């Protein structure tokens, strides 16, 4: 049985490595699609905000605009994204191509299937504990806590 940690530093020390290992294992599930972990993350960010500019994406992902431009160039060359100019000709938005949507959908399905298979191995009580933690973890991830 897990002891409840009232000390936030102690809890952080317990939680951080678990979250990192889990995230790393989930990300590995898309390796066979020829898309890197970083590219999959960019595809997801673009899917979340179709029409986002390279600069906005760079700010969001905390990388330099020239670095983001290089990433977007590779995704465009691979046929996974499309860059389009809006009514303001200086603004170039990025959206997923049909192939990009297909690849992202496959990545998400593979990752979900991997995680669902592991969740099946837990008891009902363990799954309930994870379900109860989803909302507070989401608040942490969004910086709302």
The answer to whether residue 24 sits within a structural domain is no
Instruction: Encode pLDDT of 86-143 as tens digits.
Output: 767 778 899 999 999 999 999 999 999 999 999 999 999 999 999 999 999 999 988 8
The answer to whether residue 8 sits within a structural domain is no
CATH of the domain at 107: 1.10.10.10
User: pTM value?
Assistant: 0.79
E-assigned strand segments in the chain: 52-53, 81-85, 92-96
Sheet holding 52-53, edge to edge: 52-53, 92-96, 81-85
The answer to whether residue 50 sits within a structural domain is yes
Over 80: is that where the pLDDT of 31 sits?
no
Binned at pLDDT 50, 70 and 90, residue 47 comes out as very high
Number of domains, the chain:
1
Shortest CA distance to 119 belongs to which of 109, 134, 130?
130
Mean pLDDT of 67-89: 90
C-alpha to C-alpha distances, 117 to 32, 40, 127, nearest whole angstrom? 19, 21, 12
Q: Residue 88 is part of which domain span? A: 36-140
Q: For residues 43 and 103, is the Cβ–Cβ distance under 8 A?
A: yes
Shortest CA distance to 38 belongs to which of 17, 18, 57, 55?
57
The answer to whether residue 49 sits within a structural domain is yes
């Amino acid at each position: 049985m897990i002891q409840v940690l009232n000390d936030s530093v102690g809890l952080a020390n317990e939680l951080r490595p678990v979250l990192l290992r889990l995230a790393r294992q989930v990300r590995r599930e898309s390796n066979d699609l020829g898309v890197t972990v970083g590219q999959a993350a960019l595809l997801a960010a673009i899917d979340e905000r179709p029409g986002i500019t390279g600069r906005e994406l760079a700010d969001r992902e905390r990388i330099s605009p020239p670095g983001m431009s290089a990433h977007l160039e590779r995704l465009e060359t691979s046929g996974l994204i499309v860059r389009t100019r809006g009514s303001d000709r200086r603004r170039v938005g990025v959206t997923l191509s049909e192939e990009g949507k297909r690849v992202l959908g496959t990545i998400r399905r593979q990752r979900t299937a991997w995680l669902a298979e592991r969740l099946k191995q837990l008891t009902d009580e363990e799954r309930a504990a994870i379900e109860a933690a989803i909302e507070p973890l989401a608040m942490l991830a969004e910086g709302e806590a």
